[in-house]
Amino acid sequence: MRTISINTKVTKMLSFVFSFQLFRSKALELGEKLLPAFNTPTGIPRGVINLGSGTSWSWGWASAGSSILAEFGTLHLEFVHLTELSNNPVFKEKVMSIRKLLNKIEKPHGLYPNFLSPVSGNWVQHHVSIGGLGDSFYEYLIKSYLMSDKTDEEANKMYYSALEAIEANLVQKSPGGLTYMAEWRGGILDHKMGHLACFSGGMIGIGADDGAPEKRQHYLDLAAEITHTCHESYTRTTTRLGPEAFRFDSGAEATATRLSDRYYILRPEVIESYMYMWRLTHDPKYRDWGWEAVEALEQHCRVESGFSGIRDVYTMTASHDNMQQSFFLSETLK
């Protein structure tokens, strides 16, 4: 009967509405429980919070009780959306206060170091990385601009200013012609690029069209060069999966020279850049590179109950770490 079909659709629609209301309610509840972390002299949130008591503290390993750029700088999209869902301005106010402080304090050579004191509002040490500890801060700047329907001019300005500083200080070219993002430690370059930094190819690509007109093609070219380098870090291994970090010194290029960097834990960043670059250019090589990664994952990471990281990408002898990271489903496969 047609009536059953219509009623089924109505039931599904109501189920969707109730599910939306449930998740909306839970998102707002979680957001409210996170707010005490912002109760610092600067408004910069601490890195860890007890959701029951509201007590917050910094990570024990973080330099001098500092907060981490990639953490406090990666709240903007969600907190602005919480204000949109709730009509409560407090969520947006919290993340806008972070921007206000970051715009106010001096930045060495225009760069954003990874550690900031939530008490003094000063940088704790001058370590700059586009990979771990810094990565998603930059990603959220350009995505905040795009998600605002290109009305968030502050995010636009911060992103392109940061990118200009990154190009001037961190972007390097190896003797073999590979473009990479070095790390910066108090003015001294560490010629290492982490797998986490490989997201930057896609990031620079999606921001290319909104840069200065005379730099748009340059940004797209830079995105392609970085993505190519990250692909090289995969092709130069035995498994065709990339190491956690690779170096460009002592004759090495796009290769892990330390045993502690040879593992792969199902990370998404390289594949993410392939996806963005395919959508931006429709160059079929990016689909081919993506398929190479799929085949390598199937061959080396597939286990009986799912997928596992491997301890050494430079050997065909399987050594699984027996962990399927949460980001494998939420990012790599997506």
- Catalytic residue numbers? 244
Q: Which DSSP string do the residues of 118-169 spell out, in sequence order?
A: TTT-SEEE-EE-SSTTTHHHHHHHHHHHHHTTS--HHHHHHHHHHHHHHHHH
Q: Give the burial class of 71: count Cβ atoms within 10 A of its Cβ; 0-12 exposed, 13-18 middle, 19 or more buried.
A: buried
CA distances from 70 to 19, 251, 331 (A): 31, 31, 17
Distance (Å, rounded) from C-alpha 328 to C-alpha 319?
A: 18
Distance (Å, rounded) from C-alpha 138 to C-alpha 232?
A: 24
Q: What end-to-end distance do the CA atoms of the chain give, in Å? A: 38
Q: Are 116 and 67 in contact (CB under 8 A)?
A: yes
Distance (Å, rounded) from C-alpha 97 to C-alpha 247?
A: 37
Find all residues with CB under 8 Å of 180, minimum gap 6, and list them.
171, 172, 173, 174, 191, 193, 226, 229, 248, 254
Nearest residue to 163 (alpha-carbon basis) of 185, 190, 181: 181
- Looking at residue 58, its amino acid is S
The number of residues making up the chain comes to 334
Q: Are 122 and 116 in contact (CB under 8 A)?
A: yes
127-128: strand order across its sheet: 127-128, 183-185, 188-190
Distance (Å, rounded) from C-alpha 266 to C-alpha 320?
A: 11
